[in-house]
Structures are given as structure tokens and as C-alpha cells.
Structure 1
Amino acid sequence: MEILIVEDEKEIAQLIHNCLAREGFQCYIAYDGLSALENAKVIQPDLIILDLMLPKLDGLEVCNRVRNLGMTKDPYILMLTAKGEEIDRVIGLSTGADDYLVKPFSPRELVARVRALLRRSMRHGGHAQINETPHFTLNLDEHSAIRQLDDGQEEILDLTALEFNLLVAFTNYPGKVWSRTQLIDKLWGADFFGDERVVDTHIRRLRKKIEPNPAQPTFIKTVVGVGYKFEDDDKR
């Protein structure tokens, strides 16, 4: 597993590097936001440890740009923050960070968070390998998703691994109302660390890719005070 460490304080960066290298991870270091983006394109890391406060580009901007690079891998992002910084802002409801860790942290906690992120996967169980609804066809083996447009054309959806798994969960149980806690358990299981509102981040990103009008969702509906549900029928 390859990890990109983005931290402008060299002593902290080296500490993180040494800690994770001892655990068998291949680690690289970038000391500013622009270098982080260049390294991410070349390395295609499995995970990025990203400090919030960076020279040239801050962590939130780096996170946002990484999510739009279209890389072969969609890396997990662990944001590093200082005490007193707003967690809502750190999680970045528009950036797609997966977790955060507040400084100062122990090496043991860092390793635990990293391992938890890298173990995250969708548990498909005994579900069929093809999920079909009137407007969506998901191939679980190929990790591909197609949306049927109203004019009869097909659109290949460019989904991240997490977005794909989220849509799989929804299409497995159309009409089911999911709480944030249930979605976290389904997608991340007991390995999840962080604020459950990170679910809203991924729902919003998924809506932008599958909804005709994300501001007025057709497929992923918000159930006020409860969570979300997926609806699809032939009457649309």
C-alpha cells in the first residue's frame, strides 16, 4: 500500500513517515499543496495523509482537486487538523475527506486510523452481481454503472469506489430508509472513525453524478429527521 504524506512541518512529516514505514507501508512526502497534487498524479497513492494548513494550497483545496483529478485510484484522505479548528470545515462537506485526526496524536492512533481506512470495503454478501432498476445498471464484478436517460440513451457514470458502493447499497434495497449510522455500518463497518455527517458529503457528490437536477433529487431522497432513501420507477 502506498501513502502520500502532505505536511509542511518536516519533523512531523518524517515522524509519520517512519511510523508507517515500520508497519510496512511505502510512504512519500510532499511539503506543500502544489507538490502534493503533482505527487498524487505520479504515485497514485492508496491513501493521502493531508495537513489542513499548507503553503501554496491549503488542505481543503488539495482535497477538492484530488477528487477531481480522475486518477486510476480514488485515494482515501485522512485530514490532519490542529486543536480548535472547526471539524465541520475540516471534514469539508464539499471536499470529500474520509476522516480526520487532531494534532497532537499518538503513533498508535495514526496507524489504527490508516489501517481502518485501508480496510474499508463494501460487503456484498450474497447479492446478485448485476443490480438493475429502471434507470440504472450496476455490474458489481466490473465496478461499472450505467444510467438510462429519458431519451433512451445510456450514460456511463464515473463513480468513485465509495460512490459506487453507496449506489449498490441503495439499489439493493429500493425504498428502504437509511440512517447515516446504517449507511456507515454498511459501507465502513466497525472500522469507521469520525463524524457521521461525512455521509452527507458522499450523498451530495453522488447526487451530482446521477441526478438530472441535484438541487431537486429524483432518485436519492432525503427523509427529514431520518436519513435517505432511493426510489426509481418507470413513471419518471
Structure 2
Amino acid sequence: MAAVLIVEVNADLADTLQACVHAAGCTSYWAQTGEQGLELCQQLEPDIIVLDWNLPGMDGIEVCTHVRQMELRRYPYILVLSAQWGEDYEAGALNAGADMYMTKPFAPNLLIVRLQGLIRRGQLHLRREQGQLH
């Protein structure tokens, strides 16, 4: 079962995100700050990180950059959530190392489908590494 780390300061939104993660067939972990998120990322090495842009202290883009600099055994996919609209924000997240960008508010069913897509992609990479794909 894929592990998803949610880094979101708002508890109500974190509950919604956890419900989406569980609906996608994954296990969820929650951090409220960027610093907590980095600690959990180091400990858990999650498959996916759902990361809010607007975090207190260290923002989501800084967290994304730090995660990409960590020496982890596996590459976590990072999905950035933001209330910011526009291609400059999306480009900023992708340039910082995010794999996907979604704006808030979001449709839960769309988040579930995107998580499932990231899981499939991760499984394909794992199978390729294990020599099961040619």
C-alpha cells in the first residue's frame, strides 16, 4: 500500500485530504508544518507528498526544494496544492521539483484520480527497476 504524506496546516482540509488518500487506496500521514513534513519525509520515505504551498514558516516550495535535496532510497512524487492561480505559480512549483500542481478549492474525485495515477507511475518505475519491464 502506498504511503502518502500530507503537509497541510488546516486540520479540516487535512481531514478531507486524508479521506481522498484513503479512497485512493493509500495510507496517510499528516504534518502541520514544513519542518514537521521534512522530518516525517526523512523517517517514512513516502511514495507521494501532498504539499500545501502556503505553510507557516517554511513554505511548501521551500519544503519541495529540501525534499529534492534529501538522499532518499526512493523518489517521492510531490503534488503541490495552492490557492494561487496562474501559470507563474504552477511553473514555480514545478521548477522547485513538484511533479503536479492543483489549485484550491479542488474536486476530491479529481485528487483521488491524480493520486491513483501517481501510484501507477510509481509501480511502473519499481517494476522497471526490478527488471520486470523491458
User: Same fold judged by TM-score > 0.5?
Assistant: yes
- Tell me, what secondary structure is at the counterpart of 1:53? coil
Q: CA offsets, 1:161-186, max 9 Å, x none?
A: xxxxxxxxxxxxxxxxxxxxxxxxxx
Deviation at 1:45, TM superposition (A): 0.3
When the two chains are superposed, the root-mean-square deviation of aligned CA atoms in Å is: 2.0
Alpha-carbon contact 2:85-2:103 (below 8 Å) kept: no
- Tell me, what secondary structure is at the counterpart of 1:105? coil
Alpha-carbon contact 1:81-1:90 (below 8 Å) kept: no
User: Does structure 1 residue 81 correspond to structure 2 residue 108?
Assistant: no
Matching residue's letter, 2:4: I
Runs of 4+ in 1 over 4 A off after TM superposition: 140-143
User: Does structure 1 residue 26 correspond to structure 2 residue 27?
Assistant: yes
In structure 2, relative to structure 1, the CA distance for the partners of 1:55 and 1:21 (3 Å cut) is same
- Scaled by the length of structure 1, the TM-score of the pair is 0.49
Q: Give the Cα separation in 1 of the matches to 2:116 and 2:130.
A: 25
Greater fraction of residues in helix:
2
Aligned length: 125
Identity %: 36
Q: CA offsets, 1:106-144, max 9 Å, x none?
A: 11000011111121246xxxxxxxxxxxxxxxxx7579x
Q: CA offsets, 1:190-227, max 9 Å, x none?
A: xxxxxxxxxxxxxxxxxxxxxxxxxxxxxxxxxxxxxx
Deviation at 1:24, TM superposition (A): 2.4
In structure 2, relative to structure 1, the CA distance for the partners of 1:66 and 1:82 (3 Å cut) is same
Listed as ranges, the gaps of 5+ residues in structure 1 are 123-139, 144-236
- Scaled by the length of structure 2, the TM-score of the pair is 0.85
Larger Rg: 1
1:90 is matched with which residue? 93
Deviation at 1:40, TM superposition (A): 0.4
Higher RCO (CA-CA < 8 Å; seq separation 6+): 2
Matching residue's letter, 2:82: T
